[in-house]
Chain A
Amino acid sequence: MELLCCEVDPVRRAVPDRNLLDDRVLQNLLTIEERYLPQCSYFKCVQKDIQPYMRRMVATWMLEVCEEQKCEEEVFPLAMNYLDRFLAGVPTPKTHLQLLGAVCMFLASKLKETIPLTAEKLCIYTDNSIKPQELLEWELVVLGKLKWNLAAVTPHDFIEHILRKLPQQREKLSLIRKHAQTFIALCATDFKFAMYPPSMIATGSVGAAICGLQQDEEVSSLTCDALTELLAKITNTDVDCLKACQEQIEAVLLNSLQQFRQEQREGSKSEDELDQATTPTDVRDIDL
């Protein structure tokens, strides 16, 4: 008699489809990815009330919600893509920003998850400052302004394509993937990366993940430079651009590590604070 144990993960996953990982798909992704980038640097030309630090605040909150709700990895970057595209077109008061963040998570979760986030849950996460009805109405507004183009390309779409082309031992792959995903989330919280093509963020994140891990143990047979060249070839990215992007990613990590340590020092009085400051956990374990 076979016994089925269901306590691991309530979500059933399909096995990876090799047909979706061939070059045709990769080329298509590279062709269409730019269509889904925000149209302008909106702090300069559209928004009057919203400042860059407010985007970081709402992004950090969204990431916390996604992590606490164990959302699929793509949900957060996709939601940030919706938010940036909306803000690139619609001048918005800062008091609406959290509602918009919630709406974007609502939409991204519906698109990517088997069991999506509910409107009620998201409203609780705003400390009930918005009502589910308002969330639903604004959902339509956001959909309209995004022209219903929700299937945006995100850096996650490229990860498997990149990983399978690297001369990597298989047992290291899941660790590299995990770190790269954390880097991608980190990039999504920083406006600097909002207008970079997702393929470049993905390639830079994989590069940063491997180079970071390399310091502790042998994860790749390539040197960092050789790796960057190979990565650049995979996604048709300019080598220098890619290097610059990877450096920026590493700088963002350092920055966020420092911030984390500071918070730790300040917040050491209450242990709850430590629990809360888990934002992009995994990468913080790496010592640079």
Chain B
Amino acid sequence: MSQPSGDSRQIPHSSKACRRLFGPVDSEQLRRDCDTLMASCLQEARQRWNFDFVTETPLEGNFVWERVRGLGVPKLYLTPGSCGGRDDTGGGRRPSPSAAVLQGTMAQEDHVDLSLSCTLVPRSSEQPEGSPETPGTSQSRKRRQTSMTDFYHSKRRLVFCKRKP
């Protein structure tokens, strides 16, 4: 009854749930598999969005990528601690693609453009003749905004959240 509530989620001493199930874990293999799978995720995303998420460059494909101005986030919110060697993620960690981009952009400007928007452009060559005409497909500038799910969105959300005081 009188147990302090803060302790309710401490791991009890000699908890039987603390156990390894399948013997020793090979960290090297974990690292290799992690790298392989991350690379395949990036590759999938690259094809899905015709965008290279490592170098953050648009590629040829169904989506047109353009930089959006005016969503810059003040530097203040992006640098925890000092501006120098950002090593907030703990030692030994390779810089993630987004961190690399953040650093790169920040070196040049005061504001960071994490804001690329992508739009799906119907390619006129692929438009089969006699297909049900949707209003506006004849206008080449008509675009449908798609939602960026995988990588970009989450990053943008992160930035927006940090904007709020």
Chain A partners chain B: yes
Number of interface residues of A (CB under 8 A): 45
Jot down 11 A-B pairs with beta carbons below 8 A, ordered by A: A6-B5, A9-B5, A70-B8, A95-B25, A96-B25, A97-B21, A125-B15, A137-B38, A141-B38, A272-B14, A276-B16
B138 within 8 A of A: no
Interface stretch of the complex, out of B29-37, B54-62, B74-82, B122-130: B29-37
B136 at the interface (CB under 8 A from A): no
Q: Is the interface of B mostly helix, strand, loop or mixed?
A: loop
A83 to B37, CA, bound (A): 15
Given contacts A125-B11, A147-B149, contact A134 B27 (CB under 8 A): yes
Residues of A within 8 A of B44 (CB): 144
Do B17 and A58 touch across chains, with their CB atoms under 8 A apart? Answer: no
> For A134, what are the chain B residues with a Cβ–Cβ distance below 8 Å?
27, 30, 34
Interface residues of B in 1-41 (CB under 8 A from A): 1-6, 8-9, 11-12, 14-27, 29-30, 33-34, 37-38, 41
Is A99 among interface residues, defined by CB-CB distance under 8 A? Answer: yes
Minimum CB distance partner of A64 in chain B: B17
Q: Which B residues touch A144, using CB under 8 A?
A: 37-38, 41-42, 44-45, 150
**Set of chain A residues within 8 Å of B23, measured between Cβ atoms:** 95
Instruction: Note all chain A residues with C-beta closer than 8 A to B30.
Output: 96, 99, 130, 134, 138
A68 and B25 form a contact (CB under 8 A): no
Contact code string A2-22 (vs B, CB < 8 Å = 1, else 0): 000011111000000000000
Q: Are A148 and B149 in contact (CB-based, < 8 A)?
A: yes
Q: A61-B19, A96-B25 are in contact. List 5 more A-B contacts (CB 8 A).
A: A125-B15, A131-B27, A144-B41, A148-B150, A272-B16
The distance from the CB of B70 to the nearest CB of chain A, in whole angstroms, is: 26
